[in-house]
Amino acid sequence: MLRWVRQQLGFDPPHQSDTRTIYIANRFPQHGHYVPQKFADNRIISSKYTVWNFVPKNLFEQFRRVANFYFLIIFLVQLMIDTPTSPITSGLPLFFVITVTAIKQGYEDWLRHKADNEVNGAPVYVVRSGGLVKTRSKNIRVGDIVRVAKDETFPVDLVLLSSDRVDGSCHVTTASLDGETNLKTHVAVPETAVLQSVANLDKLVAVIECQQPEADLYRFVGRITVSQQAEEIVRPLGPESLLLRGARLKNTKEIFGVAVYTGMETKMALNYKSKSQKRSAVEKSMNSFLIIYLIILLFEAILSTILKYAWQAEEKWDEPWYNEKTEHERNSSKILRFISDFLAFLVLYNFIIPISLYVTVEMQKFLGSFFIGWDLDLYHEETNQRAQVNTSDLNEELGQVEYVFTDKTGTLTENEMQFRECSINGIKYQEVNGKLTPEGFSEDSPDGNRHGLVKEEELFLKAVCLCHTVQINADQTDGADGPWHANGITSPLEYYASSPDEKALVEAASRVGVVFTGISGDSMEVKSLGKPERYKLLHVLEFDPNRRRMSVIVESPSGEKLLFTKGAESSILPRSKSGEIDKTRIHVDEFALKGLRTLCVAYRRFTPEEYQEVGKRLQEARTALQQREERLADVFNFIERDLELLGATGVEDKLQEKVQETIEALRLAGIKVWVLTGDKHETAVSVSLSCGHFHRTMNILELVQHKSDSTCAEQLRQLAKRIKEDHVIQHGLVVDGTSLSLALREHEKLFMEVCKNCSAVLCCRMAPLQKAKVVRLLKTSPEKPITLAIGDGANDVSMIQEAHVGIGIMGKEGRQAVRNSDYAIARFKFLSKLLFVHGHFYYIRIATLVQYFFYKNVCFITPQFLYQFFCLFSQQTLYDSVYLTLYNICFTSLPVLIYSLFEQHVHPHVLQSKPVLYRDISKNAHLGFKPFLYWTVLGFFHAFVFFYGSYLLMGEDTSLLGNGQILKPNRQMMFGNWTFGTLVFTVMVITVTMKMALETHFWTWINHFVTWGSIVFYFIFSLFYGGIIWPFLHTQDMYFVFVQLLSSGSAWFAIILIVVACLFIDVVKKVLYRHLQPTSTEKAQMYSNRVALSDEFIALQPLSRARNQLSKISLLRQVQVSTAWTPCAASQMGKQHAHLLEECWND
């Protein structure tokens, strides 16, 4: 009892078992000691908030941001003490930012709730009380028997009990889980496979013991104990018995299965893991700038407070006759007064921190990410796939990449395998017109025109046809006896395979005479030269990346037990004891030098005693609940030995289009390319040379086949020495997986030094985790370079998640890479457009946005600081509270947002054709200390000109008060104060808006509308705000101030003069730098601008030629206008634009 109480209070949590016990149909034991295990219900919850926790949880998350929390503190200070500005000035912008963000996040979560409700409410059929009961998906419990019909998705993770087929098998596609479109076969245990009706299943008494839920889609360990006639039969359960939630039933009328994992414990839900949050370099720079500006703010507040008390040290200023202190103020603590004044100045200057910066950056990233999906140049017509953005937080990081880590197969190549050559019994063969022809013989030669296959060739092809996981389209299985070619062989069957290599080999075998015609029950059917043969499939030894091979054990028509094995030569040749091993090894190396993917094929005959031992060991390992994988690995190694080598295959994987050009462009842009592949050394080197990763003139260095730390270290030192001696020559490094492990263990620094001095690095024989380790190694090096990883398969996921930017290729190896990536593209060649154009634009846009925001807030608050010197630091505000509130929200926000969405400082075609321009923005060049200092100093300079220009030009001008009339002293004081502040504010709004206009190179109608519209809106708003008495305002200091300001000619003169004075120096600086020290980007801008040919130039040409050029320019302008609002989406038109530009220039 005491222990139960302690468990309920959480002091003594109950022991979590490593396994779960499931009673099928929830038939629990009748004895009283059994305590049912608690399992999750079947609801899927992908949403983040509920109705009850949305407000507190969302507010907590938002106020974790430093800027939001800072403004909350300022707002609370304004509420608690007497401050010079209204709490509304801080509260309203804060409320606006928090509300906009909350609405965005709330809407996204509402969509998730909607999707969850749709899934959880889907109708399903469950076997209960002897019949089929219709219920909702969320009501399924662990132990329920569920019926699923053809083309339906599985609502839970099920262990297959039976199907409409006698053998209890079914076909499933897991495209929604891992993207693999091939059909996978799942089988039920024989004891339940015969129970094909609801009545029979309702009588089933069985218990399943299996592991607790885990995320691995391809791992399941369990066993089922079936009670039949007082006898208990135990059968192993593996991945072939588990039907995963989200997968779809195909080519099978219906199945019955028992629910083992439900709801958030299903493998699909466990794979919803949130990716580690990646932060861009721009975001880190923003936070650094924020800290610097916080220091400036504190400095201004402390200085103002000290100067105030220094000024008040004189008695006449401490308590002037017009502002006598109350008794309470005289008796209050000086320390408290100092703190109160410091907080008041902090509130007065707090707008130097731009609160709207974060919401503007979020909007820019979110809206800007659509341009990638709209870009027609990133659309692949053959597969109907467009680029997709999975996270918009890293857009600008695409412009900062220094290292690209790429997979080879499916990324640089098409992953479309074509059989080219093979080696059988030490003889090389090629396929010629559907026949295997030995090397050196042609079809016309006497020995080349052979009929039939010799014994070794037939056995080799049978091994290829039996040792695989290929499936046949069920709609075509009846076509096996279809039409035959003249030589008596063909295969009208359509094959499906998770491995393109296997599909290519089975199709090649069918073309030359040995046809795999399908699986019937536990038998594999093969036609050898038209003669049907049936092999009983006894065991499948599944492929795994550690063994690098797969095997099948079959019984031949003669009753002989055979093991067929195929895999990497490194895993087959050492286990072979007979056959032409040496010749085959030479042939494998020759295939690899041609860039072919190689596999070795071997077999073994079992005696009855050997097979009995094999069967016993396999049964024990497969029924084990603990350490099943380790036991199976030991048994597989025991079985796959003493092999007789049959031969090897060579399959070609074509390079993707424009891979060589893309890699060369990356190199010109200053980006180093590393290829990380699992292929063997020779194959990888051959492909690297063919795709341009390695040049023929490069000095290729090798760090391969090292078995000890000492030899590896010695080789590294020699390589480092060679690089120093031959520093003029470009070097390429080849390293294999085993040598890499040794290098990273003890000699990481030396290895990194060698790698960084090489132009290209190729890592072969790499395991998935090794790929991630290499990326992490570069990421964490002292230089902290920005890394990008690109791949198409599940083995690339760890690398993609580790890199700063992860890109998935929509290839043929499933969708796991795409699902786990930040961006996804259909082809490797699209990477150049993604980086050189989109990355370049995103970085320039957001870098200018961030700098401009800090600049305009320095312009905004510095005059407020300067004004305190003229009002005895009395904390009097220079601007009206409405202007304080709306400056960042309305008056200056839209021009910079539109700039950050549409700016194209160089034509996209120029950026893509001149990759060297990418170097101008590398290493966060536009957000370094120098640009930050320039914008900050410029902000202070403009602020000084605003304030002192207005003071010197208008300080003594009485015409400001209306037609030169002198007003009464009290009105003069009132109007003088607010009029001066309004003049400064007016000059400031115009100047900062015009500054944004100066930074804009690509003008669209939207830019014109928001730029000039912002200035017009400010004037209209000010006229209405100050020209009408608003009854809901308790004070209206600005009444008629703006009208009188605009009625003064000298005020207009002052506005124009100050704006010109501010911007003139900036314009001069731009002109001088552009002509005296132009960057590569500025040269490219001048080249692009030449499209706007002058009228004088055209006038000097012959009439016909001038007309031709004018028509081209007219078309150019039409293209510019039509593509202005979606510049990326209209990239095809952009190409036409660039082509016309070139024609004009040539003319």
pLDDT band at 135 (very low <50, low <70, confident <90, very high): very high
pLDDT in tens, 784-795: 889 999 988 766
Strands 760-764 vs 731-736: parallel, antiparallel or unpaired:
parallel
For the packed helices 840-867 and 281-311, what is the interaxial angle rounded to 10 degrees?
Answer: 0
- Indicate the pLDDT class of residue 648, thresholds 50, 70 and 90: very high
Residue 86 dihedral angles phi and psi, to the nearest 5°: -70, 145
**What gap in Å lies between CA 583 and CA 464, rounded to an integer?**
20
Q: Is residue 418 predicted with pLDDT exceeding 90?
A: no
Q: What is the pLDDT of residue 1103?
A: 39
More confident residue, 963 or 52: 52
* Neighbour-count burial of 773, counting CB atoms closer than 10 A to its CB (0-12 exposed, 13-18 middle, 19+ buried): middle
Burial class (CB in 10 A: 0-12, 13-18, 19+), 1068: exposed
Q: How far is CA 158 from the centre of its chain?
A: 31
Higher pLDDT, residue 316 or 713: 713
User: What whole-number distance in Å separates Cα of residue 138 and Cα of residue 131?
Assistant: 19
Helices (H), 526-654: 569-572, 581-593, 608-623, 628-639
pLDDT of 121 strictly over 50: yes
pLDDT per position as a tens digit, 829-858: 899 999 999 999 999 999 999 999 999 989
Dihedral of CA 770/773/774/775: which sign? positive
Look at 374 and 313; give whichever has higher pLDDT: 374
Element (H, E) at 125: strand 123-128
Instruction: Please tell me which residue, 610 or 66, carries the higher pLDDT value.
Output: 610
Q: Are the beta carbons of 232 and 121 closer than 8 angstroms?
A: no
What average pLDDT does this structure show over 1052-1061?
90
Average pLDDT over residues 1073-1089: 75
Q: What is the pLDDT of residue 841?
A: 92
In Å, the largest CA–CA distance within the chain is 125
961: pLDDT strictly greater than 50 = no
Instruction: Give ∠ CA 177-145-26 in degrees, rounded to 5.
Output: 120
Check: CB of residue 984 under 8 Å from CB of residue 950.
yes
Q: What is the CA radius of gyration of the chain?
A: 38
Q: What are phi and psi of 51, to 5 degrees?
A: -60, -35
Buried b (16+ CB within 10 A) or exposed e, 612-634: eebeebbeebbbbeeebeebbee
Supply the angle between the helices 581-593 and 681-690 in degrees, to the nearest 10. Answer: 20
Q: Is the pLDDT of residue 1099 over 60?
A: no
1112 vs 1116, 1139, 1144, CA distance in Å? Answer: 6, 10, 7
Write out pLDDT tens, residues 683-718.
Answer: 677 778 778 888 877 888 888 877 777 888 888 888
Q: What single DSSP character describes residue 380?
A: B
**CB proximity list for 313: less than 8 A, separation 6 or greater:** none
- The predicted structure's pLDDT at residue 346: 82
Tens-place pLDDT, residues 556-585: 888 889 999 998 888 888 888 888 888 999
- Helix (H) or strand (E) holding 68, with range, is helix 66-80
Angle of helix 66-80 versus helix 281-311 axis, rounded to 10: 30
Instruction: Give CA–CA dist 43/596, Å, rounded.
Output: 48
What is the predicted pLDDT for the residue at 788? 93
HEC string of 651-697?
A: EEEEECCCHHHHHHHHHHCCCEEEEECCCCHHHHHHHHHHCCCCCCC
List, as one string, the DSSP characters of 765-828: S--HHHHHHHHHHHHTSTT---EEEEE-SGGGHHHHHHSSEEEEE--SS-SHHHHTSSEEES-T
* 705 Rama sector, left if φ>0, alpha if ψ -120 to 50, beta otherwise: left
Measured distance CA(1104)–CA(147) in Å, rounded: 79
Rounded Cα distance between 838 and 399, Å, is 8
Residue 198 has pLDDT above 80, yes or no: yes
Cβ(824)–Cβ(805) below 8 Å = no
C-beta neighbour count of 483 within 10 angstroms: 7
Q: How far apart are the first and last CA of the chain?
A: 97
What six digits make up the tokens of 898? 């539109």
Specify the higher pLDDT residue, 1003 or 968.
1003
Cβ-contact 1076, 1114 below 8 angstroms: no
Beta-ladder partners of 133: 126
- Tell which residue, 726, 667, 719, 727, has the closest CA to residue 691: 667
Contact present, 1023 and 1042 (Cβ < 8 Å): yes
Cβ(602)–Cβ(651) below 8 Å:
no
Residue that is written with structure tokens 């790429």 in the block: 406
C-beta separation of 551 from 640 below 8 A: yes
Q: Which of 407, 501, 679, 880 is catalytic?
A: 407
Task: List the one residue out of 945, 935, 937 whose CA is nearest residue 1058.
Answer: 945
Instruction: Specify whether the CB–CB gap between 244 and 230 falls below 8 A.
Output: no
Q: Which residue has the tokens 């007016």?
A: 986
407 is catalytic: yes
Q: At what angle do helices 748-756 and 737-746 cross, to 10 degrees?
A: 120
**378 three-class SS:** helix
Q: State the chain's mean pLDDT as an integer.
A: 79
Does the pLDDT at position 179 exceed 70? no
Q: Report helix, strand and coil shares of the chain as percent, to nearest 5.
A: 50, 20, 30
